[in-house]
Amino acid sequence: GGVEDYIPPPATASIMTVQFLFFACPSVLRKKYPEGQITIEHINSLVLEVQDMPRWAKLIRYILCPGVRNENLDLDPILPWIQTNEGKRRLEKILCVCVSSISKKQKPGKRKSSPKGSIAVDDIFSEYHVLVDSFLRVLLWLGDDNTVGQKCNYSGGSRDMIHQKCQSLLMQSTCPSHSGNHATL
C-alpha cells in the first residue's frame, strides 16, 4: 500500500482542513459595546491564491477524498462535522472554497515561476477542477467521473444529512434535479 491507500483519521483530516481554512476563510473578532460581548464574524470573501492551489488540491486528494470515498463510515472526515455548528460551518467553507475557486476567472496561458521552473497556471487549475468535481460529485450523489449513472456509495446514516446539506447549499430549489432524492445529470 502506498500513499493512495492511506486514509487519514477524521481528527487528522479535520485539523488539517481547519489549518488550511484559517488562511482561506478569515474570521474577525468583534467586541460589542457596551455589553462587552466578543463575537466571531465570518468573512465571506476567500483569500485562496494561485500558489495555494497545489496545497488545496493535496488536501482534497489525500486528506478528504480517501475517507469520503471509503465505505467505512468511521473513516469519513465529514461525518463528525455535521454534528456541530463549527463542523457545519467548516463544511460550508469547504464547499465555498471549492465553488469559488472553480468559478474564479483566470487568465489562460498565464505562467508563474516556481523552484522547479515555469508551471502553467492552467495546469494547476485543470488538476484542481478534476479533483473538486470528483469530490463534489460524491457528496451530491452524482456519481464519480468513472461511474456516471451508477449508484453512489456515499449514503446511509449521517451521510444522507451531509448530502442534503451540500445539496441545499449548492443546488437551487428550481433545479430540475433537486427533488430531495438522488440528483441526476
What is the reported pLDDT for 106? 47
What is the reported pLDDT for 160? 92
Three-state DSSP class for residue 146: helix
Q: What is the pLDDT along the chain (185 residues), one digit of tens a residue?
A: 555 689 999 999 999 999 998 877 666 555 666 666 655 555 556 666 777 888 888 999 999 999 999 989 999 999 999 999 999 989 998 998 888 777 764 444 444 444 554 455 566 667 788 888 889 999 998 876 554 444 567 888 889 999 999 999 888 654 444 444 443 32
Mutual angle of helices 85-103 and 10-24, in 10-degree steps: 60
User: Which residues are CB-neighbours of 118 under 8 A, at least 6 positions away?
Assistant: 111, 112
Closest CA relative to residue 140, chosen from 177, 102, 108, 113 = 177
Closest CA relative to residue 51, chosen from 110, 92, 134 = 110
Three-state DSSP class for residue 119: strand
User: Which residues are CB-neighbours of 89 under 8 A, at least 6 positions away?
Assistant: 42
